[in-house]
Chains A and B, each alone.
Chain A
Amino acid sequence: MLISGIKSKPVYSPLEADTRGRYHLMLAIGGAATALERVLGQLSAADPDALTRSRVLFAPDRGKAAAGSATATPATAAAVGFFAAWPQLDVRLYPDIPALLAALRVLLDESLMGTRLYVAAPESFIGRAVQLALEFNMNQDEIRAEALGSLARRVHCIHCRTTTEDVRTNIVECGGCGRWLLVRDHYSRRLAAYMGVMVDAESPGERPAVQEIFP
């Protein structure tokens, strides 16, 4: 039922450094942080000073850290250990994804042309980060992303325009209007969401079985 071959579905590839960039802004979520290893290696090989113009924003994948301590989760502790190999790098830790995105907005507003954005994260976070970068008119040749971890989707109801988070199943009950939505591959970068279309509009109540397809 899922229509494949839809062109708007984002395609990700393993992260590579863009050594033509002058400033490098990297976002890492949870265990996906290790995908930055190649980028950091390539940048420092191309220019020993490149890492002094680089910055990493990190947040753990899920759950909030204990109050007052950004390093309380095991994922954060692991990331601190991982980034310790690049002492010149400015690494900033955030307790959760909303805090990281709020900091990203401030940083993008201060950033200069010549900045490249790298995202190592589950797909739903990549979408949120790219959506924010688009607000600052960053184009596709300034953004690189590698999707790692959960395939859970943000689903935008085309009927009531509510976005339902963390959808792992082929059909989902809309958090806004309660319609059962078929989760499509049709993606909007502006909304950072896949489109959900009422699945039983033509034959009310006739729905396929709910299956987890985005683990």
Chain B
Amino acid sequence: MSQAQTLAVEVIAIEQVTPLIKHFTLSAVDGAELPAFSGGSHIIVVLRGATRIYRNPYSLLSSPHSLGSYEIGVRRMEESRGGSHFLHDQVTVGSRLEIAHPVNLFPLAKTARKQVLIAGGIGITPFLAQLEDLHDGTAPYELHYSVRSPEHAAFLPRLREREGDRVRLYFDSESQAIDFDGLLANQPLGTHVYVCGPAGLINRVMTTAQRLGWPDSHLHSEQFTAPPTGDAFEVVLARAKLTVQVAPDRSLLESIEAAGVEVPYLCRGGVCGFCQTRVLEVDGELLHNDHFLSDAEKTKGKSIMPCVSRARCKNLVLDL
């Protein structure tokens, strides 16, 4: 994906839906319909700050059937490198942003006999769009939404109004928790489970399902990792013949891009695998933070996902 393919959009509405989450509505600057997408898709939002550019992935939560605008929900991250703070603090109605075309790395299985959606906190966003697709289908579905407290439950009125009993809520503040064993032990053959939220929730669902015999093809998860900060390091781009410094609060991918070298990407969150880059030399440790490479591949150290991963070493040479 290159910068040339971005769409120019304008923020037409902003709503503070919980103390931490803002709901943004974006429409094309030229007033045209936005590209079609399917439930579970995300966009990359390009934010031009005073000193740097952020490119953050956000799931589309608006209906795939209405392309006059896109909607995203942005949680203000405590340890933000700046992207979510920029959206919360600097972007106002009328602000212009660039976005990349939607990409779906979290699609619904169309042949499922039953769909079980499990959301934790801001992980509700891709499901809001998927529910629009499920609403029109014939397969039964249910949504389990786990959130800190009622005041933090984003989009609740909309969910209750449209989905009624199909939504089950679990509030940490009232010591309510999803009974993972009960939920996963008795699902009919052909059920698919989707989970989006914090790593702990995804791990609980995956390990419980696997223990109960669920095969991988029926388990789906999405978690965008914000690029972790870390120590500064230096990287040599072998083909470009460039040496690039990676600052503590910049990702490897951002640093390479700032040096003028383009790396293909789709998600910038360690999920899609597009930015996978060959490691030619490394004299220390690769700090893999992605969900794409297998454990064996991570140990082997021949590849790195520069969107979220870093290195602790003196000499790192990449095939770029």
Instruction: Using CB atoms and an 8 Å cutoff, list the residues of chain A in contact with chain B.
Output: 20-23, 108-109, 111-116, 136-142
Contact = CB atoms under 8 A, between A and B. Distances in A.
B36 interface: no
Contact of B213 (A23, A139, A140): A23
B212 to A, nearest CB: 5
A140 B216 CA distance: 10
Given A113-B184, A113-B218, A138 B213 contact: no
A109 B113 CA distance: 11
Interface stretch (B73-81, B185-193, B227-235): B185-193
B213 A115 contact: yes
A55 to B, nearest CB: 14
Contacts of A109: 188-189
B31 interface: no
Interface string B176-203: 0000000011111111100000000000
Interface string B207-218: 001101111111
Contacts of B175: none
Contacts of B190: 113, 136-138
Most-contacted residue by chain B among A21, A113, A116, A138 (CB, 10 A) = A113
A20 B210 contact: yes
Contact of A115 (B184, B189, B216): B189
A137 B212 contact: no
Contacts of A115: 189, 213
A23 B210 CA distance: 13
Interface residues of B, number: 22
B115 to A, nearest CB: 11
Nearest to B112: A137
Contacts of B191: 113
B5 interface: no
Closest A-B pairs by Cβ, 6 of them? A114-B213, A137-B190, A22-B213, A139-B217, A141-B215, A111-B189
Contact of A137 (B184, B189, B209, B216): B189
Given A20-B210, A21-B213, A140-B217, A113 B187 contact: yes
Contact of A113 (B109, B111, B189, B216): B189
A23 B185 CA distance: 11
Interface string B39-76: 00000000000000000000000000000000000000
Contacts of B187: 112-113
A115 to B, nearest CB: 6
A136 B113 contact: yes
B210 A111 contact: no
A171 B87 CA distance: 68
29 contacts: A20-B210, A20-B213, A23-B213, A108-B189, A111-B188, A111-B189, A112-B186, A112-B187, A113-B184, A113-B190, A113-B209, A113-B212, A114-B185, A114-B212, A114-B213, A115-B213, A136-B189, A136-B190, A137-B111, A137-B113, A137-B189, A137-B192, A138-B189, A138-B190, A139-B217, A139-B218, A140-B217, A141-B217, A142-B215
Contacts of A116: 213
A96 B22 CA distance: 63
A113 B214 contact: yes
Nearest to B191: A113
Contacts of A108: 189
A206 to B, nearest CB: 43
